[in-house]
Amino acid sequence: MTRFVTPEGVNPLRRGLIEDRTGDACAVVIFGASGDLTRRKLMPALYNLAVSRSLPSGFAVVGVARRPKPGDQFRTEMHEGVSAFSRRKPVDSAVWADFERGISYVQGAFDEAKTYTDLKAHLEELDKERGTRGNALYYLAVPPAEFGIIVKNLREAGLVAPPSAHREGGPWTRVVIEKPFGHDLASAQVLNDTIASTFDESQVFRIDHYLGKETVQNLLVFRFANSLFEPIWNREHVDHVQITVAEDIGVEGRGKFYEQTGVTKDIVENHLMQLLCLTAMEPPISLAADAVRDEKVKVLRSLRPMERSLVQENVVRGQYGRGFVRGEEAHGYREEPDVAKDSRVDTFLAMRVFVDNWRWGGVPFYVRAGKRLARRVTEIAIQFKKVPHTLFRAPDGGISPNVLAMRIQPDEGIALRFTTKEPGQHTILRDVAMDFRYGTAFGSNTPEAYERLLLDAMRGEATLFTRRDEVEGQWEYIDRVFEAWHAEANAPPPIYPAGSWGPDQADDLIARDGRRWRKP
């Protein structure tokens, strides 16, 4: 069939229609389907795609896990998950009835060949019944230690089509994996090699769910669809940048996991580094996946390595102790279940980072992330330089610099702070903000990150997924922070009270440069 398309591949008659965002016909096969991720995130996301009519007509979702789920048990559990966690409530019974027909379950152990022969027969059946065209999106919702055995068995069962098959008009196969992508550079490389033993990089979709957030995507639009900001987005005009990823929750029963990761590996290495890259990167030549990812990788390569001599003045770690969060008493980290009583794991990290290139030479990026902080807020703040000469006798002896604050969550929006004259006979200066809020402008029921990401994976659009060299570049930087830390400081992290903004040392880090953290 000939499709009428523009050079960008868009049918102009369908532009703006919901169907423009429909995924390719396929079966989404979830390994680890009895886990929390499937119930809380994946199924609600797929259901919401069904509500917005974004799923292809040839669609099926297959759960694969060890536990037997006789009869309709899997569908019933998925319905419960969607009822509890969908952003649209209550569940629309007509949409569910239709969506549910595509849900099925294959029981089996991941290390048994039979699981895969069963899966193969099932997928062939589904292809006939539901028109999935042999396309398969494998979602590995399992611990990374199980990736190897699954991809090997998929390959040996003939369940993986090479990219060339799709180029020649045949079916496609893709694989989606979740963080943690290893716990350091070496383990990330092993993991990547494992996946690469079976899949070409173009078939691999690594999820960093931050990239699926509307406001993170808007960073690209804000920077590159407006002519106002890009000319001043550089060392000539920017004094410094602050990136904050603050959570008020603690480790929420994930003590065992946190003892292995800490905030640096859980949040900084991935979500925060992605925000840094999107803020600092050069304009890509297009929005094609590799064009955007090339620019992000260049930022990672420009980061000034954290040498031993630099770590003391540039890195502050912290761990939460007892305190009060939103008026309620909170335990200290070492009192959490599965956490060692003398744990040295970080739940807070603040760093001064430099991007050594022509755009950013000499501009500090102060970044911080932590659990059990005063409130939940993720934001990027660009602080511009002071005016070169003060004409006004301001009472506080100076004029506040302009700040552009991009609020990723919650209260998503963008605010620009500038100075005005207070009405009256005297020239009194006052800071005001120009405030754009998503909720007010567009309503607040924005899609969940997983909706966008699953749909993009079904369409083969990889721009919002992390490429191998990106993941490895992130680890390379973080590994050096740890090495430098252990070689030079290696002290237990200072304790900060739950409900505060982190240890005092974090304030000292920025105060040494004559600056202070924003209180977002």
List, by residue number, the catalytic residues: 271
Residue with the shortest CB distance to ligand BG6? 266
Q: Is 100 among the residues that bind ligand BG6 (CB under 6 A)? A: no
8-state DSSP, 285: S
Instruction: Tell which positions 157-216 bind ligand BG6, by CB under 6 A.
Output: none
Q: Is 336 among the residues that bind ligand BG6 (CB under 6 A)? A: no
Is residue 438 within 8 Å of 444, Cβ to Cβ?
yes
Is residue 457 within 8 Å of 465, Cβ to Cβ?
yes
Beta bridge partners of 416: 404, 434
Alpha-carbon gap, residue 377 to 211, rounded angstroms: 16
Query: Which candidate, 43, 50, 157, 22, places its Cα nearest to that of 105?
Result: 43
As given in the structure block, the two tokens for residue 21 are 């965002």
Alpha-carbon gap, residue 280 to 302, rounded angstroms: 10
As given in the structure block, the two tokens for residue 242 are 């602050």
For residue 369, the minimal CB distance to ligand BG6 (Å) is: 10
For residue 464, the minimal CB distance to ligand BG6 (Å) is: 14
Nearer to ligand BG6, 266 or 451 (CB): 266
Is residue 284 within 8 Å of 297, Cβ to Cβ?
no
Nearer to ligand BG6, 116 or 139 (CB): 139
H helical segments located in 56-101? 73-85, 93-100
Nearer to ligand BG6, 266 or 336 (CB): 266
Alpha-carbon gap, residue 317 to 503, rounded angstroms: 8
Query: Which candidate, 480, 271, 461, places its Cα nearest to that of 370?
Result: 271
Nearer to ligand BG6, 181 or 496 (CB): 181
For residue 177, the minimal CB distance to ligand BG6 (Å) is: 14
Nearer to ligand BG6, 266 or 456 (CB): 266
Contact pick of 266, 379, 448, 470 for ligand BG6 (by CB under 6 A): 266
Binding letters toward ligand BG6, positions 422-461, x by CB under 6 A: ----------------------------------------
Instruction: Tell which positions 24-43 bind ligand BG6, by CB under 6 A.
Output: none
Nearer to ligand BG6, 127 or 247 (CB): 247
- Residue count of the chain, please give it: 520
As given in the structure block, the two tokens for residue 119 are 């899966």
Is residue 46 within 8 Å of 61, Cβ to Cβ?
yes
For residue 306, the minimal CB distance to ligand BG6 (Å) is: 23
Q: Is 247 among the residues that bind ligand BG6 (CB under 6 A)? A: yes
For residue 353, the minimal CB distance to ligand BG6 (Å) is: 20
Q: How many CB atoms lie within 10 A of CB 445?
A: 9
Count of residues that bind ligand BG6 according to CB under 6 A: 2
For residue 52, the minimal CB distance to ligand BG6 (Å) is: 21
Q: Point out which residues bind ligand BG6 (CB under 6 A).
A: 247, 266
